[in-house]
Amino acid sequence: MKNPLIIYDSLTGNVDRFASRLEYKKMKVSPELEVNQPYFLVTYTTGFGEVPKSTQVFLQRNFNNLLGVASSGNKNWGRLFGKSADIISSQYNVPIMCKFELSGTRNDIERFTQEVNKIVQFNSKVD
Ligand SMILES: Cc1cc2nc3c(=O)[nH]c(=O)nc-3n(C[C@H](O)[C@H](O)[C@H](O)COP(=O)(O)O)c2cc1C
């Protein structure tokens, strides 16, 4: 796995902006999307600390290739900040790459990239 794939979900554009700054191949969640290679998921948190419905539906069909998850959120939500990442991480037993506010900072992009690269390197050793 030399070129990781990023799958992202976004309602109001923050995760879109985060994803657009990543130097990886990426695709946005859509109702019929099927992914047949390992990927990292970036989504957001909605409701009261919930995973967006579109992300849930996508994961039901594609959880088997999921390597890790990140979530956008807003710290105003306190302990529910980026909770979507915690839910997906425990439901599918994958690591959290990071949680970030809104469209993220340069630091968030760096952190996410480092975490992805660690997993990519590990996987290419065991491939
Ligand atoms: C109705 C609503 C509920 C939200 N609930 C949460 C929440 O529980 N926790 C959190 O961290 N952020 C919450 N947020 C903030 C969003 O996760 C944040 O704005 C995110 O950047 C949206 O991503 P998007 O612009 O890509 O759709 C909520 C936002 C809205 C509009």
Question: How does pLDDT run across 111-124, given as a tens digit for each residue?
Answer: 999 999 999 988 88
| Mean pLDDT, range 77-106, rounded to an integer | 98
Q: How far is CA 51 from CA 37, 104, 118, in A?
A: 22, 18, 25
Provide the pLDDT confidence category of residue 1 given band limits of 50, 70 and 90. low
Counting residues of the chain whose pLDDT is more than 90, the rounded percentage is 91
**What's the chain's average pLDDT?**
96
**Å from CA of 126 to ligand 1 middle:** 36
Strands (E), the chain: 5-8, 25-28, 39-44, 66-73, 96-101
What is the pLDDT at residue 126?
Answer: 65
What is the pLDDT at residue 19?
Answer: 98
pTM of the model: 0.97
Q: Whose CA is nearest to atom 27 of ligand 1?
A: 11
What is the pLDDT at residue 122?
Answer: 87
- Ligand 1 neighbour 83 (Cβ under 6 A): yes
Q: Whose CA is nearest to atom 30 of ligand 1?
A: 46
**For residue 5, is pLDDT > 80?**
yes
Ligand 1 pocket mutation pick from 6, 7, 42, 77 by most atoms within 8 angstroms of CB: 77
**For residue 33, is pLDDT > 80?**
yes
What is the pLDDT at residue 124?
Answer: 81
- Ligand 1 neighbour 99 (Cβ under 6 A): no
Q: Which amino acid is at 108?
A: D
**Å from CA of 119 to ligand 1 middle:** 27
**Å from CA of 17 to ligand 1 middle:** 14
What is the pLDDT at residue 125?
Answer: 74
